Amino acid sequence: MQRIYIILVFIILIACESKEKAPNVQEIVNRSIEVSGGKNYKDSNVDFDFRDIHYTSKSKGSIKVLERIIRNDTAVILDRKGPSGFNRFVNDSLIALADTTANKYANSVNSVHYFAYLPFGLNDSAVQKEFMEIVDIKDKTYYKVKVTFREEGGGDDFDDVYVYWFNTETFKPDYLAYEFHVNGGGQRFREAYNERYVGDIRFVDYKNYKPKIENSSIYKIDSLYVNDGLELLSNIELKNVQVNRDNYN
């Protein structure tokens, strides 16, 4: 009888271990990208409005052009980031910019597009992914993944740290957080909501939080979230989202 009991305990432990074992981190990201849009990310033109600025992404295979259009009473400003670099046009005239200024504008354009298309981008060559643990948030279970960037190809903010929470059933990233160092630095935690698919690509809006207490660990920010340790700063909303394909030129 004792031998049977030991065998049963051993089987239960093995079953629990198998249940808790996470897939490879690359598999998590691959499946997340697939359920969120997959190949449609690479062959689609996307338009959306964010905070009264119009953004456009034109993609065809490995060629990608990111744009934003700012309109005011006197001018139409077009910022374009493509394979040849960054350019700013004011009323259709190319404007000469200092390298530092051009770099700042390019990073601003890239940042908005980056968040809009997540999780696409997490397989870029500069991205380093590391599985952390399995956690529960609001009665759902998540794969918690750390993302950092290599200095080469990682941009000016290569030392920023991101954390993603992928739903273990849907593989969608319901939450993300990041720690940044520019402008005095800080941390943000984003909760996805208003999920919708446009042109078979997943888009979400975010509730944008920051910790109520400074200098907390970015790796424990999910604990702050479930224990009322975050302060809501803003809502990140994409409006008038449109997706078109096969008309890149």
Return the structure tokens found at 155: 């941009």
Neighbouring C-beta atoms of residue 165, cutoff 10 Å: 25
Neighbouring C-beta atoms of residue 46, cutoff 10 Å: 24
Beta bridge partners of 218: none
Encode the chain (249 residues) as per-residue pLDDT tens digits.
555 555 444 445 444 544 456 679 999 999 999 999 999 998 899 999 999 999 999 987 678 899 999 999 999 999 999 998 999 999 999 999 999 999 999 999 999 999 999 999 999 999 999 999 999 999 999 999 999 988 765 455 567 899 999 999 999 999 999 998 776 778 999 999 999 999 999 999 999 999 999 889 999 999 999 999 999 999 999 999 999 986 544
β-pairing, 63-71 vs 76-82, is antiparallel
Give the model's pLDDT for residue 60: 72
Return the structure tokens found at 91: 């009323």
Inside any domain, residue 13 = no
Give the model's pLDDT for residue 18: 41
Cα gap 115→126, rounded to integer Å: 16
Beta bridge partners of 191: 175, 207
Give the model's pLDDT for residue 157: 57
Residue 228: domain span: 39-245
CATH number for the domain spanning 241: value is 2.50.20
pLDDT in tens, 85-123: 999 999 999 999 999 999 999 999 999 999 999 999 999
Give the model's pLDDT for residue 153: 54
Neighbouring C-beta atoms of residue 243, cutoff 10 Å: 19
Inside any domain, residue 18 = no
Residues 6+ apart with CB under 8 A from 91: 75, 76
Give the residue ranges of DSSP H helices in the chain.
2-20, 25-36, 99-116, 221-226
Tell me the percentage of the chain whose pLDDT exceeds 70. Answer: 86
Inside any domain, residue 140 = yes
Inside any domain, residue 26 = no
Give the model's pLDDT for residue 144: 98
Phi-psi domain of 137 (left: phi exceeds 0; alpha: psi -120 through 50; beta: other): beta
Inside any domain, residue 15 = no
Domains of the chain: total: 1
Give the model's pLDDT for residue 51: 95
Q: What is the 3-state secondary structure (H, E, C) of 122-141?
A: CCCCCEEEEEEEEEEECCEE
Inside any domain, residue 11 = no
Task: Name the 3-class secondary structure at 248.
Answer: coil
Q: Closest Cα to residue 58, out of 82, 38, 74, 32?
A: 82
Inside any domain, residue 4 = no
Backbone dihedral angles phi then psi of residue 31, each to the nearest 5 degrees? -70, -35
Cα gap 136→225, rounded to integer Å: 12
Inside any domain, residue 210 = yes
Cα gap 167→28, rounded to integer Å: 10
Give the model's pLDDT for residue 77: 97
Cα gap 204→39, rounded to integer Å: 18
